[in-house]
Amino acid sequence: MDYAIRTEGLTKTYGPRAAVKDLSLEVPVGSVFGFLGPNGAGKTTTIRMLLGLVRPTSGTATVMGVDVSRQRSKLSSLVGAIVEVPAFYMHLSGAENLRAMALSAGRELPRAESDRLLEQVGLSHDGKRAVKQYSLGMKQRLGLAVALMGDPPVLFLDEPTNGLDPDGAREIRELIVSLRQAGRTLFVSSHLLQEVERFCTDVAIVQNGELRIQGPVETLLASRGIELRVSSMDRARAILNLPAAQEAQGAGPGWVLTEGADSAVPATLRKLLQADVDVFEVRPKRSSLEQLFFEATAAAQGGLRQ
Ligand SMILES: Nc1ncnc2c1ncn2[C@@H]1O[C@H](COP(=O)(O)OP(=O)(O)OP(=O)(O)O)[C@@H](O)[C@H]1O
């Protein structure tokens, strides 16, 4: 497995407090990696270290094989980032802003390239309008166009949908998926677990600067049994040998939960139907990131949280 980003024991302390503690991350090439955690968990500090903006207190981090502390000068061609909505020249157009930003970074941006960047972020038709007329979502997309200058293989987006309305957030999500399809790796920090579940391929959950869980979304949220909505819960439980009072784990009244894999569905249905128990719905019980997060953080707090 090739990793676009890898950290080992990454730590940043401010005075007596550790903002990030002993963090070891593995971000596969071509993934959309959700970096999740509540406010103050250490997400921004981690991103700043990975961008070479903050020096780690200890530990190592590489981006596309480049050590972020020792080879900082090589990082700029490898990464693009939006850490906050960038400060634009409000009276200039989107295209003019891109050219101005490129100039301030010491290079001329050919017209064809600014057109291509605007197209990539869905701003082709608005490139000539002044940025002061842009919505927050459009400004965020223009920020992404800035991050995409030089075509870096890795993009860092810190809370990219913060403050956006549902339409703006959806546009950013679609953009993230299309940027990944072009072969990039996207490292996306967020505290919005439900939202991230929709587009991330991999996630890490951090809390108080420490890693709680990481892995591919598909594996982490794998099926945890089968839920069936039946005409008689008592009889279904007796036939399937399920413990009584199982509602707490199931989806509520009328539903029973079996531990079988998806492949056990036909045999389970046959047993119930042969015993005259009607089955109205069958579905795999999947975990959600939210559930995973509460389980992971509760374990760290000695099981205090449900
Ligand atoms: N320059 C600094 N000096 C002192 N403490 C800091 C500094 N930067 C961050 N911290 C502290 O480190 C901890 C982690 O902050 P960080 O901003 O990385 O968290 P976050 O997960 O990005 O949170 P948010 O979602 O609120 O931005 C916080 O307790 C914060 O107060």
Provide the residue type at 27 as one letter. V
How many structural domains does the chain have? 2
CA of residue 46 to ligand 1 center, whole Å: 9
Q: Name the closest-CA residue to atom 28, ligand 1.
A: 40
Mean pLDDT of 258-267: 83
Q: Name the closest-CA residue to atom 10, ligand 1.
A: 19
Look at residue 220 and tell me whether its pLDDT is greater than 50.
yes
CA of residue 205 to ligand 1 center, whole Å: 16
How does pLDDT run across 14-32, given as a tens digit for each residue? Answer: 999 999 999 999 999 999 9
Give ipTM to 2 decimals: 0.95
Sign of CA dihedral 296, 302, 304, 306: positive
Report the alpha-carbon distance of residue 185 to residue 154 in Å, rounded.
5
Categorize the per-residue pLDDT at 263 as very low, low, confident or very high, splitting at 50, 70 and 90.
confident
Instruction: Indicate if 199 and 235 belong to the same structural domain.
Output: no
Which of 10, 12, 14 has the most ligand 1 atoms within 8 A of CB, as the residue to mutate?
14
Q: 295 lies in a domain?
A: no
Ligand 1 pocket residue status of 14, Cβ below 6 Å: yes
Q: Name the closest-CA residue to atom 6, ligand 1.
A: 14
Instruction: Indicate if 189 and 241 belong to the same structural domain.
Output: no
Percentage of residues of the chain with pLDDT beyond 70: 94
Instruction: Indicate if 106 and 168 belong to the same structural domain.
Output: yes
Instruction: Indicate if 7 and 77 belong to the same structural domain.
Output: yes
Query: Does the predicted model carry a pTM greater than 0.90?
Result: no
CA of residue 47 to ligand 1 center, whole Å: 11
pLDDT at 305: 36
Look at residue 40 and tell me whether its pLDDT is greater than 90.
no
Instruction: Indicate if 200 and 91 belong to the same structural domain.
Output: yes
Q: Name the closest-CA residue to atom 26, ligand 1.
A: 39
Instruction: Indicate if 210 and 231 belong to the same structural domain.
Output: no
Instruction: Indicate if 102 and 239 belong to the same structural domain.
Output: no
Q: 291 lies in a domain?
A: no
How does pLDDT run across 273-296, given as a tens digit for each residue? Answer: 999 999 999 988 878 888 888 887
pLDDT, averaged across the chain: 88
* Domain that includes residue 280, residue range: 226-284
Task: Specify the CATH number for the domain of residue 14.
Answer: 3.40.50.300
Q: How far is CA 79 from CA 104, 139, 214, 250, 291, in A?
A: 17, 20, 22, 44, 32
3-state secondary structure the chain: CCEEEEEEEEEEEECCEEEEEEECCEEECCCEEEEECCCCCCHHHHHHHHCCCCCCCEEEEEECCEECCCCHHHCCCCEEEECCCCCCCCCCEHHHHHHHHHHHCCCCCCHHHHHHHHHHCCCHHHCCCEHHHCCHHHHHHHHHHHHCCCCCCEEEEECCCCCCCHHHHHHHHHHHHHHHHCCCEEEEEECCHHHHHCCCCEEEEEECCEEEEEEEHHHHCCCCCEEEEECCHHHHHHHHCCCCCCCCCCCCCCEEEECCCHHHHHHHHHHHHHCCCCEEEEEECCCCHHHHHHHHHHHHCCCCCC
**Higher per-residue confidence, 298 vs 232:** 232
Ligand 1 pocket residue status of 19, Cβ below 6 Å: yes
pLDDT at 1: 60
Q: 292 lies in a domain?
A: no
How does pLDDT run across 140-149, given as a tens digit for each residue? Answer: 999 999 999 9
pLDDT at 251: 60
Ligand 1 pocket residue status of 44, Cβ below 6 Å: yes
Q: Domain boundary at 221, 236, 269, which?
A: 221
Q: 304 lies in a domain?
A: no
Sheet holding 154-158, edge to edge: 79-82, 154-158, 185-190, 32-36, 202-207, 210-216
Of 192, 176, 222, 205, nearest in space to 31 by CA: 176
Q: 87 lies in a domain?
A: yes
Instruction: Indicate if 233 and 97 belong to the same structural domain.
Output: no
